[in-house]
């Protein structure tokens, strides 16, 4: 098994081929990116009016942003 063709995965004891490994990493990056976006939007919705004013966003805009789906 060539080290340039196979990469071990963490903790599974299995190896994943190069292109498939790239796809897996891209999917994980997308998934974690969507989770981060969802968390940020939830936190924005929880800010009080004073903090929203500090960052230049009104309550309606914060609510609208919080309601957006994760893939937007």
Q: What's the rounded Cα separation, in Å, for the pair 44 and 65?
A: 8
User: Rounded to two decimals, what is the model's pTM?
Assistant: 0.60
pLDDT at 69 over 70: yes
Over residues 30-56, the pLDDT tens digits come to 999 999 999 999 999 999 999 999 999
């Amino acid at each position: 098994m060539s080290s340039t063709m196979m990469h071990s995965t963490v903790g599974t004891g299995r190896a994943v081929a190069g292109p498939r490994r790239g796809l897996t990493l891209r999917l994980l990056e997308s998934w974690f990116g969507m989770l981060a976006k969802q968390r940020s939007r939830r936190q924005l919705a929880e800010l009080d009016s004073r903090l929203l004013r500090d960052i230049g966003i009104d309550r309606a805009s914060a609510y609208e942003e919080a309601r957006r789906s994760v893939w937007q």
